[in-house]
Structure 1
Amino acid sequence: MHTLWKGALSFGLVHVPVKMFAATEEKDISMRYIHKACTTPMSYVRKCPTCDREVEWEEISRGYEYEPGRFVLFEKDELDSLAGEKSKEIKILDFVDLAEIDPIYFQKTYYLGPGDTGANAYSLLLESLRQTNKIGIAAVTIRSKGSLAAIRVIGNCLAMETIFYPDEIRPAQQVPNVPQEAKVNDKELTMAKMLIDQLTTPFDPSKYRDEYRAGLLEAIERKIAGEEIQVAPEAKRTNVIDLMAALQASLEAAKPVSVPTQPSDAAGDKPKAKRSSKAKAKEQVSS
């Protein structure tokens, strides 16, 4: 793994040297914009409309538009000094229960490995968090941007999850047409809860896959091979007006397949289980 950041994780007067690594990676398939007429990739140029010429990076500063057409300018060193990038410290402010943080706050996950020194302090913090079932709420600066973060344990590794500040979360009350009080039919509610119960299963991330990315990769390979891509017609969807009927149909579809048995033809014979069409199909596939 590539080290993104080196510094120290601190709580109280304890400093734990750590190295930061990205815990996730984007799997998006990169596409270029192409000029259809000549199939040339398009390029983007930093051009000043007033000077009518391309501008190099060293000529560029950052600016905030406080009124239309009026800006205050900042140089990189000014922004760095405000951000405190050179402190290189993840300072734990409080310890809380993970269940108290709504998932809407989480942004991006990083792994924190032990630094070149301080392995004992690293292990001490990790085991303390594990046994108390707590996480640390910390302040950190990454790439000149200050952020809150949650320090927790994943496996045998410390992890840091950057989280939004409270004023960055839009209130759910701003969503239009959300009912102030939920009013539901008791029978519909009972059936909906039964459906949820039937569809409830332990979380297994391996059963989920990015169908769009898999399909796009397949289409890329087919185009490289010179094949035409056939666009499947959009499946027709029926607007179900009867909510009870929809719930009942969903419950029937979610029921596990039962295996009926045949009665014994002769005394002493054991009843034979009738194979379902799904079982027959599986046998044909496996053979």
Structure 2
Amino acid sequence: MRPLWKGAISFGLVNVPVKLYPATESQDLKFNYLHSRCQTPIQYRKYCPHCRAEVPPEEIVRGYEYEKGRYVIIREEDLAGIPADTTHSINIMDFVDLPEIDPVYFARSYYLVPGEMGQKPYTLLRQAMAETGKVAIARVTLRTRESLAAVRVYGPALVINTMFYPAEVRAISALPELDFQVDLHANEVKMAVTLIKSLATSFQPEKYTDTYRQDLMKVIEAKIAGDEVAVPARPEAGKVVDLMEALKASIELAKKEKEGVTAGTAADKPRRRRKTS
């Protein structure tokens, strides 16, 4: 895997040479659109409806729509005049506590590994951040775009998360559906809390799988093999008549599931043989 970016983490007068790799990848299955008659892949053309002609790349420019149907043209020389940090540096501005950052601000995750001659300062920064429990807030320019970012400890490595600026996070006040008031009975809250506690566990990401992708792959593999695809009927969701009854039933179901897991774990353990005289 080739690094996407090479640069340095800069904090105070210390520079840490690093390389950046993508930390995640989408496993969505991609489909091509085909013409149903001949199964030929559909082509997408850049077409101008005014000139009624396909437009070559050299005739395409950037346009910003400042009013409906009215554009201002932005050329390369206009962008070149904007000062931007292209020094391949992750400039740390502050250190904060991770719980202070709401996850809504996080965008993409990347691994940071030490660059050439960077092992010692990299280890120093990682260990100091681990001992203080702090997360670094920084600025970084990736693919010509400056981003706010958070650098944090992740196992033996450092991870950088690009972040949205506050102006990019839409205000909750813009959602009219949240303008309501509801009176809750104390018993309802108590039952809901009990249900949450009965379902509470430690986060184990390996236990969660993309079941939709797995089922879709079965359909694809069956079609490749020429087999008929059997689609199981979906179970109908039960109608909730009373909130309290639904909470009680959910708690009982959670208890039974936990008891089943506990029993299964105990059954898996080998039994000790009794000593015979």
TM range (shorter): 0.7 to 0.9
Residue type at the aligned position of 1:123:
T
Query: C-alpha distance in 1, partners of 2:82/2:205?
Result: 41
Structure 1 position 240 matched with structure 2 position 223: no
Query: C-alpha distance in 1, partners of 2:13/2:41?
Result: 55
- SS for the counterpart of 1:177 is helix
Q: CA deviation at 1:251?
A: 1.2
Q: CA deviation at 1:115?
A: 1.3
Q: TM-score, normalised by structure 1?
A: 0.84
Structure 1 position 50 matched with structure 2 position 50: yes
Cross-structure match for 1:14:
14
Residue type at the aligned position of 2:127:
E
Q: CA deviation at 1:73?
A: 1.7
Query: C-alpha distance in 2, partners of 1:148/1:208?
Result: 30
Q: What is the CA RMSD across the aligned residues, in angstroms? A: 2.3
User: Which deviations, in whole Å up to 9, do the C-alpha atoms of 1:189-213 show, x marking residues without a partner?
Assistant: 1111111111111111111100111
Structure 1 position 136 matched with structure 2 position 136: yes
Q: CA deviation at 1:80?
A: 5.4
Query: C-alpha distance in 2, partners of 1:233/1:6?
Result: 52
Equivalent pairs: percent with the same residue? 46
User: Which deviations, in whole Å up to 9, do the C-alpha atoms of 1:146-167 show, x marking residues without a partner?
Assistant: 2110000111111100111111
Cross-structure match for 2:250:
250
Query: C-alpha distance in 1, partners of 2:207/2:101?
Result: 27
Cross-structure match for 1:59:
59
Q: CA deviation at 1:19?
A: 0.9
Residue type at the aligned position of 2:204:
D
User: Which deviations, in whole Å up to 9, do the C-alpha atoms of 1:36-90 show, x marking residues without a partner?
Assistant: 1111111101122233322232332211011233222223454355362622111
Q: CA deviation at 1:181?
A: 5.4
Structure 1 position 79 matched with structure 2 position 70: no
Q: CA deviation at 1:180?
A: 5.5
Q: CA deviation at 1:179?
A: 5.3
- Tell me if the contact between 2:86 and 2:144 (Cα under 8 Å) persists in the aligned partners: no
Q: TM-score, normalised by structure 2?
A: 0.87
Larger Rg: 1
Structural mapping, 1:62-211, within 5 Å: 62-76=62-76, 78-79=78-79, 82=82, 84=84, 86-178=86-178, 183-211=183-211
Go from structure 1 to structure 2 and tell me whether the alpha carbon gap of 1:257 and 1:168 turns closer, same or farther (over 3 Å shift): closer
- Tell me if the contact between 1:47 and 1:55 (Cα under 8 Å) persists in the aligned partners: yes
Cross-structure match for 2:228:
228
Q: Any gaps of 5 or more consecutive residues in structure 1?
A: 260-274
Q: Between Structure 1 and Structure 2, how many residues are aligned?
A: 264
Q: Any gaps of 5 or more consecutive residues in structure 2?
A: 269-277
User: Which deviations, in whole Å up to 9, do the C-alpha atoms of 1:242-277 show, x marking residues without a partner?
Assistant: 111111111111114799xxxxxxxxxxxxxxx9xx
User: Which deviations, in whole Å up to 9, do the C-alpha atoms of 1:98-147 show, x marking residues without a partner?
Assistant: 01001111111001111113322211111111111001101111112221
Residue type at the aligned position of 1:26:
S
Go from structure 1 to structure 2 and tell me whether the alpha carbon gap of 1:206 and 1:83 turns closer, same or farther (over 3 Å shift): farther
